[in-house]
Chains A and B, each alone.
Chain A
Amino acid sequence: MSIQLQVDQLHWQINDKVILNNISFKVSKGEVIGIIGPNGAGKTSLLNSITKQVKNSANSKLTGTIHLKNKELKQYTSKQLAQHFALVAQKSEPIFSLTVTDIVKLGLLPHQGLFTLDSDHDKEQVKLALSKVGLANSSEKSFNQLSGGEQQRVLIARALVQRAQILILDEPTNHLDVFYQHQILQLVKQLKITVIMTVHDLNLASQYCQRLLLLNQGELICDGNPDEVLSKENLQQIFKLPCLLERDPFTHTPRVYFSPPHQEDEYKSSGANNG
């Protein structure tokens, strides 16, 4: 598989505080990668620096290189970058009552010049993307009145219209109930494009990502498939809680259980093992 994105020695520091510490990894075409780790580990910061949203200033210093298709990220204009990356932010609240179509249409922006009007092809693209995410009948609805899961799907449809090769999602399952969590991740996986996302829930990450990056305090602790990354040693060291590992009965991926510190002994005495 060809390398699409290559991150080398990425280091970001604000004053004396290290946000990202010499992170390196490669992303191949079509991979679904989950970035996991505790709060403040640098998950969203890593996404932001990949999408060039971090700028150097007097206090903030970003070093290292990122190559997108053999060309350094710095050489891309923001418009070119938008043709490669599509971002689904954690929270999107349009201030006025935009319709679903209004929002999906914005995905066309990186491909349009000034004064251009929507062509029939553009309109077709919007329709197609909406039907792909199962919202063909909601095109004229107000975005603000949709459920959290539907809003995420609209934003994914926008990313599809953007025709980006890499989809970046920041906590796509946040605030969603169990049904929508699985629906969104299933959808993302079926798109068959490269996906890099931060995921808070380790078990969802394990079920839907073929590769995980485990971050802690700005450092990349482990990079590999869920079985390699979700080891008892890694998890206990980073999350500072006793844990148990089992196999998910449906997907056969690793499944993690944490216990409050004082209850660990009770678990042991009740005969549970780390399977």
Chain B
Amino acid sequence: MVNVLSLNKLTTKVCLLTAFLLISLVAGLNFGPANFTPGQVLNCLIASCDNPISEMVIWQVRVPRVLVALVAGMGLAITGAILQNTTRNPLADPYLFGIISGAGLGATLANLILGDELSITLPLAAFLGALFAITIVVFIAKALQRMEQLLLAGVAVSFMLSSITQFILYFGEPFATNRVIFWLMGSLARVEMSNFYVIATILLIAIAIIIALHRQIDALLLGDESAASLGVNVDQLRLLMLGLCAALSATIVAYCGGIGFVGLMIPHIVRQLIGVTTLKLVLGSALIGGSFLIWVDIIARSALTHAEIPIGIITSALGSIFFLFIMLRTRKTN
């Protein structure tokens, strides 16, 4: 009886969140500097557009942007959830593993060496930088023979790479430096449909692997010793999940720049709302993370009339307010 009730409650919540995600998608397609009625947008999507301009705005600007926001939000939230569950640390997120600072260094070096051809190579350089960072982090943790020190190694590597980046930027050419700094703040303004396909493919592969191994990841929540006694190869599983998270978040950062706090904040909400085991957490993170980034992007493009706000600024601002709120609330209940 209890099980049936809790299952129904879970189904209701998932249905509501899915409905909210669909509403977010529709909202994301309707907001923007060009004024279209919802009817025009719908017509353009399912039948034919009124004119070539609306076709261009909707199909080449809004659709890719909303879809990239969807998969990037899902991906970042899932990355945070998996990193937190596999390292048993509720504060784990791509930032703390040096993934973002590695991407920043990659972008900066590409900027320094290649200059004008930056737009094509920047995502690739950022991706390589992120993978470089995570490789160093894992290498250090392995050298110490203590995988639980991954997070500390990540923080150290993150600061090291950031300081190198800042050194290069400080002495760099101002115009190019600006470009890198703006990229680091995160934006969906220049995304294309091809970016969506790449991120979505890696996201689907990651989700499939997580579903296959969800019980083993759950076992890690009890501690390494217990997980090992249940037949889980702890180090191997942790390394696989880390690689998966690195690939997913590096791809997202490469196209969208630095978007902080999503990986930290969304799993936190999902645990309160849906549950802590891996399947529930990943499902909830996908639904809430996707909706969240779509709405943040709506704010980014419509809050100011003449300019866009970098998306990373909004996520960081919301994230820090959110954490202060959580801390105050826990203090009250205690």
For chain B, give the interface size range.
20 to 34
Known A82-B230, A109-B231; judge A53-B276 contact (CB<8 A). no
**For A81, what are the chain B residues with a Cβ–Cβ distance below 8 Å?**
231
Please tell me if A98 contacts chain B, counting CB pairs below 8 Å. Answer: yes
**For B89, what are the chain A residues with a Cβ–Cβ distance below 8 Å?**
95
Q: How far is the CA of A137 from the CA of B17 in the complex (A)?
A: 31
Q: How far is the CA of A89 from the CA of B223 in the complex (A)?
A: 10
Which among B90, B229, B233 is the interface contact of A85 at CB below 8 angstroms? B229
Please tell me if A145 contacts chain B, counting CB pairs below 8 Å. Answer: no
Whether B229 and A87, one on each chain, are in contact in the complex, defined by CB atoms closer than 8 angstroms, is: yes
Q: Which residue of A lies closest to B229 (CB)?
A: A87
Please tell me if A94 contacts chain B, counting CB pairs below 8 Å. Answer: yes
Binary interface encoding of chain B residues 203-220 relative to chain A, with 1 for a CB under 8 A from any of its CBs, else 0: 000000001110110110
**For A98, what are the chain B residues with a Cβ–Cβ distance below 8 Å?**
221-222, 276-277
**For B231, what are the chain A residues with a Cβ–Cβ distance below 8 Å?**
77-83, 109-110
Please tell me if B225 contacts chain A, counting CB pairs below 8 Å. Answer: yes
Whether A89 and B212, one on each chain, are in contact in the complex, defined by CB atoms closer than 8 angstroms, is: no
Binary interface encoding of chain A residues 117-140 relative to chain B, with 1 for a CB under 8 A from any of its CBs, else 0: 000000100000000000000011
Q: How far is the CA of A271 from the CA of B216 in the complex (A)?
A: 61
Known A78-B232, A139-B2; judge A95-B215 contact (CB<8 A). no
Whether A96 and B229, one on each chain, are in contact in the complex, defined by CB atoms closer than 8 angstroms, is: no
Q: Which of A6-14, A100-108, A180-188, A214-222 contacts B (4 or more CB under 8 A)?
A: A100-108
Q: How far is the CA of A248 from the CA of B207 in the complex (A)?
A: 59
Known A106-B218, A109-B215; judge A89-B225 contact (CB<8 A). yes
Q: How far is the CA of A106 from the CA of B89 in the complex (A)?
A: 20
Please tell me if B334 contacts chain A, counting CB pairs below 8 Å. Answer: no
Please tell me if A93 contacts chain B, counting CB pairs below 8 Å. Answer: yes
Whether B2 and A102, one on each chain, are in contact in the complex, defined by CB atoms closer than 8 angstroms, is: no
Whether A96 and B271, one on each chain, are in contact in the complex, defined by CB atoms closer than 8 angstroms, is: yes
Q: Which of A258-272 contact B (CB under 8 A)?
A: none
**For B85, what are the chain A residues with a Cβ–Cβ distance below 8 Å?**
96
Whether B230 and A109, one on each chain, are in contact in the complex, defined by CB atoms closer than 8 angstroms, is: yes
Q: How far is the CA of A86 from the CA of B222 in the complex (A)?
A: 14
**For A173, what are the chain B residues with a Cβ–Cβ distance below 8 Å?**
none
Binary interface encoding of chain B residues 1-32 relative to chain A, with 1 for a CB under 8 A from any of its CBs, else 0: 01100100000000000000000000000000
Q: How far is the CA of A93 from the CA of B220 in the complex (A)?
A: 11
**For A139, what are the chain B residues with a Cβ–Cβ distance below 8 Å?**
2
**For A87, what are the chain B residues with a Cβ–Cβ distance below 8 Å?**
225-226, 229
Q: How far is the CA of A83 from the CA of B277 in the complex (A)?
A: 23
Q: How far is the CA of A79 from the CA of B216 in the complex (A)?
A: 11
Whether B276 and A97, one on each chain, are in contact in the complex, defined by CB atoms closer than 8 angstroms, is: yes
Known A106-B218, A139-B2, A140-B6; judge A82-B277 contact (CB<8 A). no
Please tell me if A114 contacts chain B, counting CB pairs below 8 Å. Answer: yes
Please tell me if A112 contacts chain B, counting CB pairs below 8 Å. Answer: yes
**For B222, what are the chain A residues with a Cβ–Cβ distance below 8 Å?**
92, 94, 98, 103, 106
Q: How far is the CA of A93 from the CA of B89 in the complex (A)?
A: 13
Q: How far is the CA of A50 from the CA of B330 in the complex (A)?
A: 43
Chain B min CB distance to A163 (Å): 12
Whether B230 and A110, one on each chain, are in contact in the complex, defined by CB atoms closer than 8 angstroms, is: yes
Q: Which residue of A lies closest to B228 (CB)?
A: A53
**For A165, what are the chain B residues with a Cβ–Cβ distance below 8 Å?**
none
Known A97-B276, A115-B211, A139-B2; judge A109-B229 contact (CB<8 A). no
Whether A102 and B228, one on each chain, are in contact in the complex, defined by CB atoms closer than 8 angstroms, is: no
Whether B229 and A95, one on each chain, are in contact in the complex, defined by CB atoms closer than 8 angstroms, is: no
Q: Which residue of B lies closest to A139 (CB)?
A: B2
Q: Which residue of B lies closest to A102 (CB)?
A: B277
Provide a sorted-by-A list of 17 A–B residue pairs whose CB atoms are within 8 angstroms.
A79-B231, A80-B231, A85-B229, A86-B229, A89-B223, A89-B229, A95-B221, A96-B85, A98-B221, A103-B222, A106-B218, A107-B230, A108-B215, A109-B216, A109-B231, A110-B230, A140-B6
Further contacts, 20 of them, CB under 8 A, given A82-B229, A110-B230, A115-B212: A51-B229, A53-B228, A78-B231, A82-B231, A87-B226, A89-B223, A89-B226, A92-B223, A95-B88, A96-B90, A98-B221, A98-B276, A98-B277, A106-B230, A109-B231, A110-B231, A114-B212, A140-B2, A140-B6, A162-B230
Q: Top 5 closest A-B pairs, CB basis?
A: A82-B231, A87-B229, A79-B231, A96-B276, A114-B212
